[in-house]
């Protein structure tokens, strides 16, 4: 094996390790990030302590659960009880990271986010795929901040791995691509 090949192999190994470490960090940290200053935040499925802390620190007024209603599931019942206890409005909107949304569903999601009391916390299970698409739609469809700012929300920075035929969450990328022209990005 030549020197170039060893360097390339070592570089790829370092890149893979760094990516895996980053994704692990996001998972352990709750993947909590600001989408719109003082207005919208994003996260993975959180425990009660995290939600109580975010309510205290950021004034969270509503939680948008992109996993949908899951009556009887421990995480869901805990989330409902805690949002009720903290005076936070709880909103369910079922999405699957592996299924594209059509324009009517995208419009409904945008309207839910527009109407939700602010500050709004958007979450799914990992805070990367469904939450990434919802955050991108908020940035573009409600704030009008532009394509690059919106697409950043659906990126590896937040744990989203969008690779065709490999990633089960590729549907979030295809939904975004379909909606870009509708949202005012005609050159996409």
Question: Distance (Å, rounded) from C-alpha 32 to C-alpha 119?
Answer: 14
In this structure, what token pair is assigned to residue 53? 């802390």
Burial of 78 (0-12, 13-18, 19+ CB in 10 A): middle
pLDDT > 90? residue 184: no
pLDDT > 70? residue 28: no
Q: Are 54 and 32 in contact (CB under 8 A)?
A: yes
pLDDT > 80? residue 26: no
Tell me which DSSP letter residue 70 carries: -
Name the residue with higher pLDDT: 70 or 20.
70
pLDDT at 188: 45
pLDDT band at 46 (very low <50, low <70, confident <90, very high): very high
pTM greater than 0.75: yes
Does a structural domain hold residue 26? no
Total structural domains within the chain: 1
Segments forming the whole domain that contains residue 45: 31-180
pLDDT > 80? residue 178: yes
Query: What's 129's domain CATH number?
Result: 3.90.190.10
């Amino acid at each position: 094996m030549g020197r170039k090949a060893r360097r390339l192999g070592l570089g790829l190994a370092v890149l893979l390790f760094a990516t895996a470490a980053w994704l692990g960090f996001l998972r352990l940290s709750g993947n909590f990030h600001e989408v719109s200053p003082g207005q919208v935040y994003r996260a993975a499925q959180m425990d009660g302590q995290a939600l109580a802390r975010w309510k205290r620190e950021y004034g969270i007024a509503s939680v948008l659960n992109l996993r949908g209603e899951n009556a009887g599931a421990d995480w869901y019942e805990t989330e409902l009880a805690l949002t009720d206890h903290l005076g936070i409005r709880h909103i369910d909107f079922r999405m699957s990271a592996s299924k594209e949304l059509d324009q009517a569903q995208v419009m409904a999601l945008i309207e839910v986010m527009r109407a939700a009391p602010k500050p709004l916390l958007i979450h799914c299970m990992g805070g990367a795929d469904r939450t990434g698409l919802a955050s991108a739609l908020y940035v573009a469809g409600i704030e009008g901040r532009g394509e690059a700012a919106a697409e950043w929300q659906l990126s590896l920075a937040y744990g989203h791995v969008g690779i065709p035929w490999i990633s089960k969450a590729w549907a979030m990328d295809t939904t975004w691509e379909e909606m870009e022209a509708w949202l005012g990005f005609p050159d996409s």
